[in-house]
């Protein structure tokens, strides 16, 4: 790191720092779909449990479905962004000769 410039790498180490960053992004993007999908499914179960209490109406069911669909839409957007980032950083690693994750 360059003294006095915060967390910016020295020019001689910038390429190595980019490769380490790409490794971390690839690892995070590979875990995104499983981790986020579990959360979406847990939300579905929570909404279903809440609807078992007496006094709910069709409107409550529609609100619950709308909330779940909104979160599912956010999940799909996040999945698309994760796939784009994964492709970009895998290309960066492949161009430098690094196979990540290792076989």
**C-alpha to C-alpha distance for 91 and 29, rounded to whole angstroms:** 14
Q: Over the chain (103 residues), what is each successive 10-residue block's mean pLDDT?
A: 72 87 89 83 87 82 89 90 92 88 77
SS3 25: helix
pLDDT at site 85: 92
Burial of 29: CB neighbours in 10 Å, binned 0-12, 13-18, 19+: buried
pLDDT at site 73: 93
**C-alpha to C-alpha distance for 72 and 65, rounded to whole angstroms:** 10
**C-alpha to C-alpha distance for 7 and 47, rounded to whole angstroms:** 43
pLDDT at site 57: 84
**C-alpha to C-alpha distance for 34 and 65, rounded to whole angstroms:** 22
SS3 39: helix
CA 28, 17, 82: angle at the middle one, nearest 5?
25
pLDDT at site 5: 67
């Amino acid at each position: 790191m360059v003294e006095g410039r915060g967390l910016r790498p020295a020019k001689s180490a910038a390429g190595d720092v980019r490769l380490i960053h790409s490794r971390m992004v690839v690892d995070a993007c590979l875990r995104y779909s499983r981790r986020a999908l579990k959360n979406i499914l847990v939300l579905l179960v929570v909404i279903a449990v809440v609807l078992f209490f007496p006094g709910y109406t069709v409107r409550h069911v529609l609100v619950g479905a709308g909330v779940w669909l909104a979160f599912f839409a956010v999940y799909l957007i996040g999945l698309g962004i994760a796939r784009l980032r994964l492709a970009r950083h895998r290309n960066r690693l492949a161009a430098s000769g690094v196979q990540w994750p290792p076989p």
